[in-house]
Structure 1
Amino acid sequence: MAKQFLMNLLLAFIWVALTGALYYSNFLFGFGVGFFLMWVMNRGGTDDRYFTRVPKVIGFFLYFVYEMVKANIQVAYDVITPKYFMKPGIVKYPMNAKTDFEINMLSTVISLTPGTLIIDVSEDRKVLYIHVMYLRDKEQFIRQIKDGFERRLLEVIR
């Protein structure tokens, strides 16, 4: 998989060199063209993990950016208005993540989102304790994390 990623980067740099325009958008377009060409050439191949994982990584990144922007707007609105809309609470979140790396990545992604902070991980490493700034419904929050961050992150990692 690392060889395919490096080949894709090489194709993107070749695209940038051939077009003569060193812009992020041109590099990303070249990366997409290279990904498509490699996918077409590898359709009958046995190792297609790269071609399933890259769209999942992009989807996770876009979902994370969306959630971060949404949380930032919510916090900024609360800061600039005279009335506070906070309803803080602590949630006991049961995880599907098993390894130390998966737990660390999940807790980092949750903590990077404004309005949430990881307090602790249980001794048996099955539960995260999360402080939430805007907690309306605990079950909905747990479902949102489980179906959003955790599911997408574990699809990328595993």
Structure 2
Amino acid sequence: MNLYLVNVLMALVWAAVTGSFSLINVIFGFALGALALSLIREQVGSMGYFSRAWRVGSLIALFIYELVLSAWRVAKLVLKPNMNLKPGIFAYPLKVDRDFEITLLANLITLTPGTLSVDVSDDRRYLYVHALDCSDPDQAREDIADGFERKILEAFR
């Protein structure tokens, strides 16, 4: 059985036992369930559950960092007296191959200011990305590969 589902069920059981289904109480029950599962992790095989949660948290932290950083870069570009921009579209070779992973990568790129996922090739090997400043597409490809795509592969494989 999926350990996340077990943890959710443990949180609901906690709420039922305490008689309070408030959000704080359910979250507390979820945390207690996670603690209980971590204590018996060898018996239930939950090592992957906690490491995956850590890696997903790392992906979220990277997204927030990139969001702030790219918002700052776009603000600096827009506020310059002479906007010396070179917008363009470049093809990014995908290492991710599952639909969920491709969709997540495309959405993370689109949600980051200054970039927009345009299309995925028919063979699902390339993601076409529009960049506000595409003066160095190789650096943009490297940033995506070393950032979002690497974290997605770590979190979901």
TM-score range, shorter chain: 0.7 to 0.9
Deviation (angstroms), 1:56? 0.6
Deviation (angstroms), 1:37? 4.5
TM-score of the pair, normalised by structure 1: 0.76
Q: Which residue of 2 aligns with 1:74?
A: 73
User: Alignment identity in percent?
Assistant: 37
Listed one character per residue, the Cα deviations across residues 9-67 of structure 1 (whole Å, up to 9, x for unaligned) are: 559979xx9xxxx5xxxx6x886675345313324543422111100111000000100
Amino acid at match of 2:75: A
Q: Which residue of 2 aligns with 1:111?
A: 110
How many aligned residue pairs are there?
Answer: 151
Deviation (angstroms), 1:102? 1.9
Q: Which residue of 2 aligns with 1:6?
A: 8
Seen in structure 2, the aligned counterparts of structure 1 residues 12 and 109 have a Cα distance that, compared at 3 Å, is: farther
The answer to whether the 8 A contact 1:110-1:116 is kept is yes
Q: Which residue of 1 aligns with 2:120?
A: 121
TM-score of the pair, normalised by structure 2: 0.77
Determine the C-alpha separation between the residues in 2 that align with 1:141 and 1:106: 14
Determine the C-alpha separation between the residues in 2 that align with 1:87 and 1:8: 53
The answer to whether the 8 A contact 1:11-1:34 is kept is no
Amino acid at match of 1:98: D
Where do 1:18-97 residues align within 5 Å?
Answer: 35-97=34-96
Seen in structure 2, the aligned counterparts of structure 1 residues 9 and 110 have a Cα distance that, compared at 3 Å, is: farther
Q: Which runs of 5+ in 1 are unaligned?
A: none
Seen in structure 2, the aligned counterparts of structure 1 residues 34 and 89 have a Cα distance that, compared at 3 Å, is: same
Deviation (angstroms), 1:151? 1.6
Listed one character per residue, the Cα deviations across residues 54-92 of structure 1 (whole Å, up to 9, x for unaligned) are: 001110000001001111111122223322142322211
Determine the C-alpha separation between the residues in 2 that align with 1:81 and 1:50: 47
Amino acid at match of 2:114: G
SS of residue in 1 equivalent to 2:63:
helix
Determine the C-alpha separation between the residues in 2 that align with 1:93 and 1:152: 16
* Moved >4 Å (runs of 4+): 7-14, 29-34
Deviation (angstroms), 1:150? 1.0
Determine the C-alpha separation between the residues in 1 that align with 2:67 and 2:10: 29
Determine the C-alpha separation between the residues in 1 that align with 2:54 and 2:32: 14
Determine the C-alpha separation between the residues in 2 that align with 1:91 and 1:8: 47
SS of residue in 1 equivalent to 2:50:
helix
